[in-house]
């Protein structure tokens, strides 16, 4: 039987419709292709090449992959630190942000002052904020340890102690919680008051109101905060690099090799390793492998969270 | 047929993408066909940034322009190696003609990749016999596999700074010359408070302290990092084990790694007035020649002097040696004015009067044989120590490598574990370190 083919007029109409749709989509398509599609394809391409950014690339098969996954000792610590920060920092930021958001929505007097006070640190540039934290937490000359010492509390070495360096970075991120506070504050103010009144009439206490009224209403926002937090923390770079360099106390002088991750690689994250490999050692292939590993992990975690989203969101009527 | 047309389109798209991606990887190439007597503007990138250094380099450029009226030099200060590397790889009109780097670590990369032009042909044209002009160690660290793609632009040597007042109080009459003397004096100079905490440490050997990176301390043993085939051989060199053993002995003699690290974590920033030697938390300290100028500018509240770093007891005849490094200068591969650029490089690195004046201005060690002997050099004896170290035939510079300082960072990581007592089988650990360095080097080769 001969296939059914649409009439020429119908085909032209469909083509016009497709072109129109493409026309409307083109700004996004161009942006996506130039800033995401092309870099992604180039990253995959260079992950199989030996390329020092000056001589033409040479195909080396899986050599870069083998090097990163089996021969590079810093890959393990960097991945561990990144995942540690993703789990601990994102979780604490969400809990702390929600807590502060609830606090500032409950405050009756001086709410404006407290909202501003909690939001302001977020506006501080990351480098300046990190420098200030390293100065404040300097074990020898910083005021925090002096105060702790004066009141008899044993003072840790903060950014100079491998066990305390990551928690110190988490403290820094909690200090700049303003972004999440604003998002949660908006979500909390959006919860209908009638629902709280109904819950009160049903005898719900503070926990009951949070569990059965607040939480179901803000779950989409919490998910948003977690997903964006995971993606951002996967790219964690500036604060860790600046804190490590400053805390080491070493200045750049002739012949000085400053490694990221001080102390004991405890602040080394995958993005720092990507930069070191790609733009200090000019080992582009290995840097691309690391970037792809990071991309795959970020995609997997995001997909998992988005799939869980259906179970976490309240059932729609 | 629709399917084959789709295949053709897909193949064309993939080929296009491949060409597009690889097309981005072609750096611009310069040439040496320019006439250096014609008017030209050169761009010179350097890393100096403090007002004193900037004045010194600008004065140097003014002297050059006076000699070469047809050449104007556009100076771009405070450029890091990373910026320069990236700019040279990207190419373009704004890329520099003459470049300098604060570290010798990347010379292997510059030479092997061709990013810095080979200067041998320029020296041949100018009739320069480099062996007669530069000390051998300095020539070694500015070349790689026979390519002289950089030249020394002043040098840095490392020695011992010691607190004369603390020495007097401890009854020590001269600086230590061997490692056992260093240990003995360090113990004598270490002072503690009633609660047992440190007030002053004699000599802190911890690798994370300021300039104490292991490669610098290791220089006192005269190590051989690579064999003639370019393979790492730290496990085979007996000096390596002796070096780590001595470092551990120094640490243990002064209270152990943990307490010393705790004390170190309380030190102020290296280049600030809170520097631990300046605040007398350290009685002896390894540092570069520039520290003397800083101590004088900070008006140190104690008497101090300099000496070469002690050497191992079984190499006492090498006393006077030290670690050498320095700034290097070269010509960017992408420069369209390489002959004019050579005039500037030649002036900055070989003109004796220029080298001496620049060395005196920024308190660095001059990098030519003639300048090292110049009567015009700073006569301060605390500075002269470093000139002697620079000329000592046993002094050591790091060998250039294809991937820059990556083998140094591998050594650093391993050394941190050793000093912390985490390496229980040193032989096995050193074999692993060699394997790591070789794997890193192989990864960087084509």
Residues B119 and B230 grouped into a single domain: no
Q: Which two tokens stand for residue B110?
A: 């510059």
Reply yes or no: is the peptide bond before residue A174 cis, omega within 30 of 0: no
Q: Which two tokens stand for residue B132?
A: 């007669």
Segment holding B145, helix H or strand E: none
Q: Residue A255: pLDDT above 70?
A: no
Chain centre distance of CA A254: 35
Please name the member of B26, B103, B398 whose beta carbon is closest to the beta carbon of A56: B26
Q: Kindly give, in sequence order, each residue whose CB lies less than 8 Å from that of residue A111, ignoring residues fewer than 6 positions away.
A: A104, A105
Q: Do A282 and B288 touch (CB under 8 A)?
A: no
**Helices A284-312 and A75-106: angle between axes, nearest 10 degrees:** 40
Please indicate whether, in this complex, the C-beta atoms of A54 and B406 are within 8 angstroms of each other. Answer: no
Q: Which of B17, B267, B445 sits opposite A249 (nearest CB)?
A: B267
Q: Is A56 on the interface with B (CB under 8 A)?
A: yes
The reply to whether B171 falls in a domain is: yes
CB under 8 Å to A119, separation ≥6 — which residues? A178, A181, A182
CA pair distance B261, B243, nearest whole angstrom: 19
* Pair (B238, B304) in one structural domain: yes
Say whether pLDDT at A316 is over 60: no
CA distance A238 to A260: 11
| Region A179-194 average pLDDT | 94
User: Between A and B, how many residue pairs show a Cβ–Cβ distance under 8 A?
Assistant: 132
Q: How far is A123 from chain B (nearest CA, A)?
A: 27
Which residue, among A208, A186, A187, A183, has the nearest Cα to A196 in the 3D structure?
Answer: A208
Domain boundaries, chain A: 84-249+259-269
**Which of A244, A255, A272, A282 best probes binding to B when mutated, by most B CB atoms within 10 angstroms?**
A255
Q: Say which residue, A161 or A54, is predicted with more confidence.
A: A161
Look at residue B23 and tell me whether its pLDDT is greater than 50: no
Residue B35 domain flag:
no
When divided into structural domains, chain B yields a total of: 2
Quick one: pLDDT at residue A163? 94
Same domain, B410 and B300: yes
Count of alpha carbons within 13 Å of A259, Cβ hemisphere only?
24
Nearest to B134 by CA among B324, B318, B385: B324
| Residue scoring higher pLDDT (B265 or B374) | B374
Asked if pLDDT for residue A312 goes beyond 80, the answer is: no
Same domain, yes or no, for B266 and B228?
yes
The reply to whether A250 touches chain B by the CB within 8 Å rule is yes
8 A C-beta contact, residue A265 and residue A77: yes
Q: Locate B79 and state its tokens.
A: 């450029």
Among chain B residues, CA nearest to A60: B446
State the best of B10, B25, B113 to mutate against chain A, taking most chain A CBs within 10 Å. Answer: B25
Which residue of B lies nearest to A62 if distances are taken between CA atoms?
A: B443
CA distances from B42 to A188, B36, B78, B332 (A): 62, 11, 17, 11
ipTM value, please give it. Answer: 0.77
- Is A8 in CB contact (< 8 Å) with chain B? no
**Could you tell me if B310 and B412 lie in one domain?**
yes
Whether residue B353 has pLDDT greater than 90: yes
Rounded-to-integer distance, Cα A97 and Cα A115, Å: 12
What CATH number is associated with residue B345? 3.40.190.10
CA atoms of A69 and A63, how far apart (whole Å):
10
Best probe of the A interface among B17, B18, B21, B363, by most A CBs < 10 A, is B21
C-beta atoms of A53 and B265 within 8 A: no
A51: which chain B residues are within 8 Å (Cβ-Cβ)?
25
pLDDT interval class at A43 (50, 70, 90): very high
Q: Which residues of B touch A160 (CB under 8 A)?
A: 265
Determine whether A141 is exposed, middle or buried from the number of CB atoms within 10 Å of its CB (0-12, 13-18, 19+): middle
3-state helix, strand, coil in chain B (%, to 5): 45, 15, 40
SS3 category, B157: strand
* Domain span at B113: 40-156+324-397
Contacts A286 to B, Cβ<8 Å: 443
Residue B294 forms part of a structural domain: yes
Helices (H), chain A: 8-32, 38-46, 63-66, 75-106, 111-123, 126-136, 143-150, 162-175, 178-189, 193-201, 206-209, 215-234, 238-248, 270-275, 284-312
Contact (CB<8Å) A254/B288: yes
Quick one: pLDDT band at residue A24, thresholds 50, 70, 90? very high
- Cβ(A68)–Cβ(A75) below 8 Å: yes
- The superfamily in CATH containing domain A84-249+259-269 is MetI-like (1.10.3720.10)
**3-state SS, residue A7:** coil
Q: Please count the other Cβ atoms lying within 10 Å of the Cβ belonging to residue B70.
A: 13
Q: How far apart are CA B325 and CA B265, in angstroms?
A: 27
Residues B375, B416 within the same domain: no
Q: Which residues of chain B does A281 touch, with a Cβ-Cβ cutoff of 8 Å?
A: 403-404, 406, 444
Which residues make beta-bridge pairs with B443?
none
Enumerate the residues of chain A whose CB falls inside 8 A of the CB of residue B22.
45, 56-57
Q: Is residue A189's pLDDT more than 90?
A: yes
B25 contacts A51? CB cut-off 8 A:
yes
pLDDT per residue over A267-309, tens digit each? Answer: 999 999 999 998 888 889 999 999 999 999 999 998 988 887 6
The answer to whether the Cβ–Cβ distance between B269 and A251 falls below 8 Å is: yes
């Amino acid at each position: 039987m001969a296939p059914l083919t649409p009439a020429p007029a119908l085909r032209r109409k469909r083509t016009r419709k497709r072109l129109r749709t493409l026309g409307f989509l083109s700004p996004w398509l161009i942006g996506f292709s130039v800033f995401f599609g092309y870099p992604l394809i180039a990253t995959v391409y260079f992950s199989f090449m030996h390329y020092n950014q000056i001589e033409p690339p040479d195909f080396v098969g899986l050599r870069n992959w083998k090097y990163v996954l089996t021969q590079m000792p810093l890959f393990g610590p960097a991945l561990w630190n990144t995942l540690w920060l993703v789990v601990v920092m994102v979780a604490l930021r969400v809990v702390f942000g929600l807590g502060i958001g609830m606090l500032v929505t409950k405050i009756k007097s001086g709410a404006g002052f407290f909202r501003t006070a909690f939001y302001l640190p977020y506006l501080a540039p990351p480098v300046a904020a990190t420098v200030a934290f390293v100065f404040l937490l300097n074990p020898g000359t910083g005021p925090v340890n002096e105060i702790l010492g004066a009141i008899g509390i044993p003072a840790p070495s903060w950014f100079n102690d491998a066990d305390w360096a990551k928690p110190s970075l988490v403290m820094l991120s909690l200090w700049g919680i303003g972004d999440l506070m604003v998002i949660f504050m908006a979500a909390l103010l959006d919860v209908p008051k009638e629902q709280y009144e109904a819950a009160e009439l049903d005898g719900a206490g503070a926990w009951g109101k949070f569990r059965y009224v607040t939480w179901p209403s803000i779950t989409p926002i919490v998910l948003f905060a977690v997903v964006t937090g995971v993606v951002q923390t996967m790219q964690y770079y500036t604060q860790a690099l600046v804190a490590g360099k400053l805390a080491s106390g070493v200045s750049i002088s002739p012949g000085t090799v400053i490694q990221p991750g001080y102390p004991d690689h405890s602040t080394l994250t995958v993005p720092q390793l990507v930069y070191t490999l790609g733009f200090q050692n000019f080992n582009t292939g290995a840097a691309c492998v690391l970037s792809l590993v990071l991309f795959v992990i970020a995609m997997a975690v995001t997909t998992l969270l988005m799939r869980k989203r259906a179970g976490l969101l309240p059932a729609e009527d | 047929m629709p399917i084959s047309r789709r295949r053709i389109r897909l193949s064309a798209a993939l080929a296009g993408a491949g060409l597009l991606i690889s097309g981005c990887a072609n750096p611009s190439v310069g040439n040496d066909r320019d006439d250096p007597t014609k008017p030209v503007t050169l761009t010179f990138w350097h890393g100096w940034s403090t007002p004193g250094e900037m004045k010194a380099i600008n004065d140097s450029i003014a002297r050059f322009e006076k000699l070469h009226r047809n050449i104007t030099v556009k100076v771009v200060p405070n450029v890091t190696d990373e910026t320069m590397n990236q700019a040279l790889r990207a190419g373009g009109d704004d890329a520099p003609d003459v470049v300098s780097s604060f570290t010798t670590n990347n010379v292997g990369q510059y030479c092997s990749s061709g990013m810095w032009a080979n200067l041998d042909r320029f020296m041949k044209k100018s009739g320069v016999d480099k062996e007669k002009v530069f000390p051998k160690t300095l020539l070694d660290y500015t070349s790689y596999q026979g390519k002289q793609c950089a030249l020394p632009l002043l040098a840095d040597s490392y020695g011992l700074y010691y607190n004369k007042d603390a020495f007097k109080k401890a009854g020590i009459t001269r600086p230590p010359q061997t490692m056992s003397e260093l240990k003995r004096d360090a113990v004598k100079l270490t002072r503690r408070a009633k609660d047992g905490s440190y007030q002053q440490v004699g000599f802190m050997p911890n690798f994370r302290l300021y300039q104490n990176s292991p490669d610098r301390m290791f220089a006192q043993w005269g190590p051989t990092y690579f064999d003639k085939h370019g393979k790492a051989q730290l496990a085979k060199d007996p000096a390596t084990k002796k070096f780590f053993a001595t470092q551990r002995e120094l640490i243990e003699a002064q209270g152990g790694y943990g307490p010393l690290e705790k004390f170190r974590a309380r030190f102020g920033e290296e280049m600030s007035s809170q520097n631990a030697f300046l605040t007398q938390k350290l009685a002896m300290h390894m540092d570069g020649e520039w520290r003397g100028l800083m101590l004088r500018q900070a008006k140190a509240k104690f008497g101090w002097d300099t000496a070469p770093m002690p050497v191992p007891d079984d190499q006492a005849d090498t006393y006077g040696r030290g670690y050498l490094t320095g700034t290097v200068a070269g010509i960017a591969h992408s420069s369209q004015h390489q002959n004019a650029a050579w005039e500037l490089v030649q002036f900055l690195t070989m003109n004796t009067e220029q080298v001496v004046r620049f060395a005196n201005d920024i308190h660095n060690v001059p990098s030519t044989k003639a300048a090292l002997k110049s009567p015009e050099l700073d006569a301060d004896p605390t500075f002269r120590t470093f000139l002697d170290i620079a000329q000592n035939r046993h002094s050591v510079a790091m060998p250039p490598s294809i991937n820059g300082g990556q083998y140094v960072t591998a050594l650093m990581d391993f050394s941190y574990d050793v000093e912390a007592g985490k390496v229980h089988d040193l032989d096995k650990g050193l074999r692993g370190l060699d394997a790591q360095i070789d794997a890193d080097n192989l990864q960087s080769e084509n």
